[in-house]
A and B are shown apart, each in its own frame.
Chain A
Amino acid sequence: MTTVSFEPPYSADRIAQLLDWSRSHQTPCPAAELTHLEHLAGAIAASDAGAAADLATKLEAVRTDCAGWLRAALLEASGCASDAAAVLHLLREKGAGEERGSMMLASARNLFAAGRMDEVWYPLREACKASAAPRTLRNAARLLAQARKQAEAPFRRRCRVALLSSTTIDFLPPILRAQCFGHGIDAEIYAGPFNQFEQEILQADSGLARFLPDIIAICTGWRWLGLRDEEGSPGEIVRERVARLESLWREARARFGAAVIQFNFEVPAFDAFGHLSAGLSGGRGRLLRAINLALWEAAAHTQGVIILDVDQTAARFGKDRWHDAVMWHTAKQYPSAEAMPALGHQLTAMLRAILGLTSKCVALDLDGVLWGGVIGEDGLAGIKLGGGPAGEAYVDFQRYLKSLAGTGVLLAVCSKNNPEDALLPFRQHPEMVLREEDFTVMVANWNAKDENLREIAAKLNIGLDAVVFVDDNPAERSRVRQILPEVEVPEMPADPALYVSTLSRLGVFETLTITQEDRLRTMSIRENLERKALEASAGSVDDYLAQLDIKVQLLPFDEANLPRIVQLINKTNQFNLTTRRRTDAEVRALMTAGAYTQAMRVRDRFGDSGLTGVLIAIPEGEGLRIDTWLMSCRVLGRRLEEVVFAALVRYAAESRRKNITAEYIPTSKNHLVADLYARLGCTQTNCDGDRRIFRWNTDHGFPFPPMIACEELPAAIEV
């Protein structure tokens, strides 16, 4: 420990001493030290502007990170934001965790002060993602609010979130706003009054009703349950409390059509009955666990309700720190202020799932990620995989990835290797858990990784913002972040033992349901690649389609297929004419109102693609208006749009609708279908900005493509 004295006045001696210190400080500064240095820079600049400027100049020649940071802080304190931003531009990619958060925030702050609005968003978003410190996140939220007054911030989704709580959670909204921004969500947040969540949901003119929420989070703390340490009739209590919450969900769904996020209950770490709290039939610990299980059970049977696992979130954070007794007694604050980022992070993960932002693909480096060492140099026998502590960690990580693939996340390889070296472990290493068939795309070459990531996204027909790139090399990560900022690039720890927890903490794979289509996705994508091979060998497109032996089923929405339909409505980007995102309740409302609904299932000789198309048309006047039409990218290029349109035209004619109105609403991702209606032969009637309106007169039929077998079915289970 070296003590450097910095009291004013800042004489030449002192400055020299500080320079010496910064020169000899070779290791990265921890976040607390970064804050101290900012204060120090502020104090120097305030007492002697000349000394601050002089020191900043001298620090320019010092190559340590701490010198760079101190220089940036001095420049900022002296009002030279643009110069400070230039220093931070190099520095900000060097830190991890809280240090990264602090540096990114300082970079954003200086870019903002320098008026360089276009450059503010990237470091600000990275600060929001990297930090779990309440103060950094609060300051990030404040900067975001200021910056948004001057320029349009980039967002992927907007939503109105109501937080209804049984405790004081006033610290959560700004933190949540920052974290949501980090994930591309523009969250307008309403925090209901303390412990009035039932009234808010039930009363006609509550603040909640005026707010018009898309999503309601019912943030109940365990104390709300009013459980004694031991209860006489536990079964009754569990039923009563869960029924009370269930009736709130129904009310929230019916009145607002909002998705509901219900907090489950922390099992607190302190208990008079000790271990018996969970052992005794009426113990509080046992009741809390029973209530949590009952909530999951109830949510599984209620559309549009998901459970946020507070108990797990608290356990991961540390239950002793989750609870702050002083703040509970003085301000009814729960959880503790320092725990709010952990809670906000989990809540953001649930919002991502609700808003259809679940990441779709993990693109993996090989050496140092799936195994230790370098296959091209160390050979099959030399890489670390199984058979020892480090090797076991890689096996464990592979198991995690295999399970992830089972939920519908696609795996891809993105490696700098000779292709034959890259494949060797997959084919010959006995400890490999992942096999070639677990991957949809394997790219191993010597091209830049950003190019390979583009290729992977293009092959899988997904956006780069749905890709998570996992690489152990900081230089590769940094390059991808700068060239492809939309790709999610987690900071991977040096130790492979921490890979599983690092990926699982990201919260980007949370999803509302896992459908059969999700479980079989990898197989289905691989089948698609075989189809492409057939396409290349067939003479014409129609020959190819005939050889595919396509069978299409068209059926109305029903209780069984609705979860998949809602999933597609909320995540399909490319073949999506209107990109109208809708909740389960909104889709049901359209059905009840008499909309024509059509779900499409497709299979061919290579396999079953499952439910991959959705169309909703609403009767309007004498015609029908296509409200929603989308198809999964997995089934494009097979003239299926003609099948769907032919069926719609026939339905319209049969139900004596004179015409069909269709619209194309452009987004950044649906250029693919900009000309669809024109190609189908519809007449453009109107052009409202980029939005185009078309019409089809039902006096004219539309032919079904002859090489595709189409079957129209009634609903299996009526809603």
Chain B
Amino acid sequence: MSFRFTVEDAVTLTEQRLQQIFREAFENDRLILSDGLSPETMPEWDSLAHVKLMMGCEEEFGVKFSIDETVESTSVGKIKAVLAAKGVGH
């Protein structure tokens, strides 16, 4: 018997999973995810951190970002939109 999440759980857990990715990338276990987080609001969101976030999402959600998606995913809201377009959370 295998196990998978339903649609409703996925919505909740996408938030939670994404928050975990951010916590690991920024090595901050108290980080609270919000859609407004971006390189403008977080000085530590540099190019290396960005690659860590992209890699974290690819590992966690089993998706692959294109060059454009990688370049444009410059806030939590935008990352969520890219993930949503790939069927994560829906």
Query: Which of chain B's residues 1-24 have a Cβ closer than 8 Å to chain A?
Result: 1-6, 8-9, 12-13, 16-17, 20, 24
CB–CB A4/B3 < 8 A: yes
Q: Is A7 an interface residue (CB 8 A)?
A: yes
Q: Return chain B residues, CB-CB under 8 Å to A702.
A: none
Complex Cα gap A7–B24 (Å): 25
> Do A5 and B1 have beta carbons less than 8 Å apart?
no
Is there an interface contact between B59 and A134, defined as CB atoms closer than 8 Å? Answer: yes
**What are 6 residue pairs bridging A and B, where the CB atoms are less than 8 Å apart in the complex?**
A3-B4, A25-B3, A138-B24, A171-B55, A330-B70, A330-B71
A25–B66 alpha-carbon span in the complex (Å): 37
From residue B40, how far is it (CB to closest CB) to chain A in Å?
19
Binding site for B on A (CB under 8 A): 1-8, 21, 24-25, 27, 29, 33, 35-37, 39-40, 42-43, 46, 133-135, 138-139, 142, 168, 170-171, 326-327, 329-331, 333, 337-338
Contact check, A5 vs B3: say whether CB atoms are below 8 A apart: no
Tell me the chain B residues, 53-90 only, with Cβ under 8 Å from chain A.
54-56, 59-60, 64-67, 70-71
Cβ contacts under 8 Å, B65 to chain A = 326
In the complex, which residue of chain B has the Cβ closest to the Cβ of A329? B67
Minimum CB–CB distance from B89 to chain A (whole Å) comes to 13
Chain B residues, CB < 8 A from A133: 59
Q: Are B6 and A135 in contact (CB-based, < 8 A)? A: no
Most chain A beta-carbon neighbours within 10 Å: one of B1, B4, B48, B56: B1
Cβ of B27 < 8 Å from any Cβ of A?
yes
Q: Is B31 an interface residue (CB 8 A)?
A: no
CA of A3 to CA of B71, assembled, Å: 36
- A624 to chain B minimum Cβ distance, whole angstroms, is 52
- Contact-size category for B: 20 to 34
- CB of B41 closer than 8 Å to a CB of A: no
Q: Known contacts being A40-B13, A135-B24, A135-B56, is A7 close to B3, with CB within 8 Å?
A: no
B48 touching A170, Cβ below 8 Å: yes
User: In whole angstroms, how far apart are the Cα atoms of A33 and B54 in the complex?
Assistant: 21
Alpha-carbon gap, A39 to B59, bound state (A): 15
CB neighbours (8 Å) of B16 from chain A are: 39, 42-43, 46
Given A39-B16, A138-B24, A142-B27; A331-B3 close (CB under 8 Å): no
Interface positions of B (Cβ within 8 A of A):
1-6, 8-9, 12-13, 16-17, 20, 24, 27, 47-48, 51-52, 54-56, 59-60, 64-67, 70-71
Give Cα A330–Cα B47 distance, bound, in whole angstroms: 10
Within the complex, what minimum Cβ distance (angstroms) separates A21 from chain B? 7
Choose among B2, B48, B59, B71 the residue that contacts A135 (Cβ–Cβ < 8 A): B59
Given A39-B17, A39-B20, A171-B55; A7-B12 close (CB under 8 Å): yes
Partner of B3 from A33, A134, A326, A338 at Cβ < 8 Å: A33
> A298 CA to B1 CA in the complex, in Å?
56
Residue in B closest to A325 when the chains form the complex, CB atoms: B67
Q: Residue of A at shortest CB range from B2?
A: A1
| Minimum Cβ distance to chain B for residue A413 (Å) | 43
Q: How far is the CB of B39 from chain A (nearest CB, A)?
A: 14
A35→B59 CA distance, assembly (Å):
11
Q: CA A133 – CA B56 in complex, angstroms?
A: 11
- Chain A residues, CB < 8 A from B67: 326, 329-330
Interface of B is mostly: helix
Nearest-neighbour CB distance to chain A for B19, whole angstroms, equals 10
Please provide the 9 A-B residue pairs with the shortest distance between their CB atoms, ordered closest to farther.
A7-B8, A5-B6, A337-B55, A6-B9, A331-B51, A1-B2, A330-B70, A2-B1, A39-B13
| CA–CA, A617 and B48, complex, Å | 50
Contact A8–B12 (Cβ < 8 Å):
yes
CA A151 to CA B31, docked complex, whole Å: 26
- Chain A nearest CB: distance from B18 CB in Å? 11
B74 to chain A, nearest CB (A): 12
11 additional contacts (CB under 8 A) given A39-B20, A134-B55, A327-B55:
A1-B1, A2-B3, A3-B4, A3-B6, A7-B8, A21-B1, A39-B13, A40-B9, A40-B13, A171-B51, A333-B51
The chain B residue with its CB closest to the CB of A142 is: B27
CB distance from B28 to the nearest CB of A (A): 11
Contact of B2 among A2, A35, A138, A327 (CB under 8 A): A2
Residues of B within 8 A of A43 (CB): 9, 12-13, 16
Give chain B residues whose Cβ lies under 8 Å from the Cβ of A35: 60
Nearest B residue (CB) for A24: B1
Q: Which of chain A's residues have a CB closer than 8 A to the CB of B56? A: 135
A21-B1, A25-B1, A326-B65 known; A5 and B9 CB under 8 Å?
A: yes
Name A135's closest neighbour in chain B (CB-CB): B59
Residues in A with CB closer than 8 Å to B12 are 7-8, 43
B31 to chain A: closest CB distance in Å?
14
Q: Which residues of B contact A1 (CB under 8 A)?
A: 1-2, 4
Within the complex, the shortest CB–CB distance from B27 to chain A, in Å, comes to: 6
Chain A hits for B59, CB < 8 A: 133-135, 338
Of all chain B residues, which has the CB nearest A138? B24
Please state if A6 and B64 are interface contacts (CB–CB under 8 Å).
no
Q: How far is the CA of A21 from the CA of B4 in the complex (A)?
A: 11
Q: Which residues on the A side are within 8 Å of B17 (C-beta)?
A: 39
**Chain A residues with CB under 8 A of B6:** 3-7
Smallest beta-carbon distance B64→chain A, Å: 7
Cβ of B8 and Cβ of A5 under 8 Å apart?
Answer: yes
State which of A138, A139, A326, A331 has its C-beta within 8 Å of the C-beta of B47.
A331
Q: Is the CB of A139 within 8 A of B24?
A: yes
Q: Cβ of A36 and Cβ of B3 under 8 Å apart? A: yes
Complex Cα distance, B17 from A142, in Å, reads 18
Residues of B within 8 A of A42 (CB): 16
Who on chain B is nearest to A145 by CB?
B27
Residues of A within 8 A of B47 (CB): 331
Q: A66: nearest residue on chain B (CB-CB)?
A: B3
A39 to B15: give the CA distance in the assembly, Å.
10
Does B3 contact A6, Cβ atoms closer than 8 Å? Answer: no
Bound complex: CA A1 to CA B64 (Å): 25
How far is A24 from B17 in the complex, measured between Cα atoms in Å?
26
Distance from B1 Cβ to chain A, minimum over Cβ atoms (Å): 5
A380 to B49, CA, bound (A): 62
Contacts of B71 in A (CB 8 A): 330
Note all chain B residues with C-beta closer than 8 A to A24: 1
Q: Is the beta-carbon distance between B55 and A326 smaller than 8 angstroms?
A: no
For residue B13, give the distance in angstroms from its CB to the closest CB of chain A: 5
Nearest CB on B from A51, distance (A): 14
In the complex, what distance in Å separates the CA atom of A168 from the CA atom of B46? 14
Q: Which chain A residues lie closer than 8 Å to B66 at the CB level?
A: 326
Q: Give B16 Cβ to nearest chain A Cβ, in Å.
A: 6
B2 CB to closest chain A CB (Å) equals: 5
**Measured between C-beta atoms, what is the minimum distance from A355 to chain B in Å?**
29
| Distance to closest chain B CB from A194 (angstroms) | 11
Quick check: B64 and A326 within 8 Å, CB to CB? yes
> Once the chains are docked, how many angstroms separate the CA of A7 from the CA of B7?
9
Taking CB atoms, residues of chain B closer than 8 Å to A170 are: 48, 51
Residue of B nearest to A326 (CB): B67
